[in-house]
Amino acid sequence: MKKILLVCTGNTCRSSMAKGIFEDLIKKEGRTDEISIDSAGTSVYYSEGANPYAVSAVKEMGIDISGHKSKQVEEYHVANSDLILTMTLGHKEILKSKYGGYSYKIFTLKEYAGKNSDFDIADPFGGSMETYRYTAEEIKDAISDLINHKKI
């Protein structure tokens, strides 16, 4: 089974939405026995649920992340993942500097999807519901490209 780790800052917005979206898309593809998805953050100080706007944005897509609990990325997450997809170049650089021996499997989501690797998925935190919807669609678009082009 291929293990994919999705990483953002607090693990309450982007990576929590990405995990829910990714799991939904692989379920629709009938590939849940092939791929395992997890998420974590680079700056998680205590575990908390997903941001309410993040929950609502993906709920509009028919995805439930209401049970999500944030967690800090640790070396065992990185070591036990086959692929690590970050939401920004900054997250990628943090992980590469902390866990340099695993650099070969750390990419931004858009970079791995074949999108422009210079483009980050912007943090919707503090934004409007519309900002969260846009972010969820941006994430879904990148993950759909990964699946449709058989990159995972």
Between CA 99 and CA 66 the distance in angstroms is: 30
8 is known as an active-site residue:
yes
Between CA 87 and CA 89 the distance in angstroms is: 7
Q: Are 106 and 95 in contact (CB under 8 A)?
A: yes
Q: Is the dihedral of CA 39, 42, 47, 49 positive or negative?
A: negative
14 is known as an active-site residue:
yes
Q: Which of 13, 14, 24, 38 is catalytic?
A: 14
Active site residues: 8, 14, 123
